[in-house]
Structure 1
């Protein structure tokens, strides 16, 4: 029988609100796994969250602040928030038209291998965009999903990823550009990678797509790859 994962679509929310919520879910799971919990304790609940954030730049723990190319005043003028956060990776953008997914999974219930986990997340995205006729690929040494990663000058990233893990419980996740306003990426060096483009499903197809449709496809592919049932 497949494992159950609690699915929640949080709609449109600010970044900090959802970051705090993830931290709360992570803490609950980690506490259940604490050595001080003797005897029979229930397994941590696994979650998969969807959200569309209001415009925000987030810088990973090892990221470089100079990869943000506009100052605080300019960010405020454009209504873009900014947070230095505790995931891996460098700078990225979240905003309307982008589907952000946050799996809070206890990998002890899956496989205690972060490489496997990230490749599995990438596979979910690759399968989802394939349903729109787009061939997603991995780029060696660069987490996320790309189009044409081997064609110099044509490489374009469609999905960024960055995670944190504590006692094998994950948080943060992926950001898939669906109908995203890509001009926001002009003010940063996305993921700290110079001279590579960012794209979206809308840009590649030449027309917007239904966010609800993308969500349904992604949920189905998440269930297949991780062998779970979303409830």
Structure 2
């Protein structure tokens, strides 16, 4: 059985800095980025997409990076953006104001670890086969607009699904996330402190969706949770069982989705990848180092 980790308590307020010039401007209806005249920022990456990382460990990395960025920002020093990509061991997480009424189990005896976090949104599940992206970026150098940021994260997933798998995903008005029909493929929950982002998005690639049955995902009763693998299987079945209709194995699907997500993240946010800090071994420290742009 898992453990409950409910140490955090609201409220979670952030300070509002002075306005800086906006950088990127999107017309999502036409998938147009009109920021080509803006120098692209560097984004260092912690690429652990083949690893299963305990939630608490990844959470501590995020907080360490955020605190370093905030400290340097107060000195008017800039850091490269950061991006953590990984998979998690099975875990349920709740947002700061999430209702325990969306849990279909005893909060004191969860089936896997359970955390209440400072992000927005309701309860969700993370586990193997799900790619999680935690962008830690300073919105002062992008757009100081949370609506823009949420729509940009959705845009990353929508483009990645289209380019990698020919899956036509979309948004649903009034809801956050990425959908194919009635199925939610990607969940998004963020926290922004002094315009520095953390937490992020999770895309179900080869995820076993059974654990979602123990919760009301994102507090939405009348929608389903799907995966890339599930949709591709449906497409194959609809075409008939010919010999040439087969899926890549799970790891190949993860690798394809990972490459596409990274590519589209760089395009949507107009950044260039810098150092892979996982290769450098920096991720193993208690305070992951970041580097100046």
For structure 2, the residue ranges without an aligned partner over 5 or more in a row are 1-38, 234-246, 275-293
Name the residue aligned to 1:180. 207
CA shift at 1:73, angstroms? 6.7
- Alignment match of 1:26 (pick from 45, 62, 66): 66
**Contact 1:97–1:211 (Cα < 8 Å) also in 2:** yes
**Contact 1:103–1:171 (Cα < 8 Å) also in 2:** yes
CA shift at 1:54, angstroms? 0.2
Name the residue aligned to 2:18. none
CA shift at 1:44, angstroms? 2.7
Please report the RMSD computed on the Cα atoms of aligned residues, expressed in angstroms: 1.3
Quick check: 1:59 aligned with 2:94?
yes
Name the residue aligned to 1:4. 42
CA shift at 1:74, angstroms? 5.6
**After the TM superposition, which residues 43-192 of structure 1 pair with which residues of structure 2 at under 5 Å, given as runs?**
43-72=78-107, 75-76=110-111, 80-131=112-163, 132-148=165-181, 155-192=182-219
Task: Write out the 4+ residue segments of structure 1 that deviate beyond 4 Å after TM superposition.
Answer: none
- Alignment match of 2:261 (pick from 218, 224, 230): 218
Q: For 1:164-188, what per-residue CA distance to the aligned partner results, in whole angstroms no more than 9, with x for missing partners?
A: 0001000000000000000010000
CA shift at 1:45, angstroms? 2.8
Q: For 1:73-117, what per-residue CA distance to the aligned partner results, in whole angstroms no more than 9, with x for missing partners?
A: 7634xxx11001100000000000000000000000111011111
3-state SS of the aligned residue for 1:108? helix
Output the CA distance in 1 between the equivalents of 2:86 and 2:103.
23
CA shift at 1:135, angstroms? 1.1
**Contact 2:100–2:107 (Cα < 8 Å) also in 1:** no
For structure 1, the residue ranges without an aligned partner over 5 or more in a row are 149-154
Determine which structure has the larger strand proportion and give its number: 1
CA shift at 1:198, angstroms? 0.3
3-state SS of the aligned residue for 2:62? helix
Higher Cα radius of gyration: 2
**Contact 1:29–1:45 (Cα < 8 Å) also in 2:** no
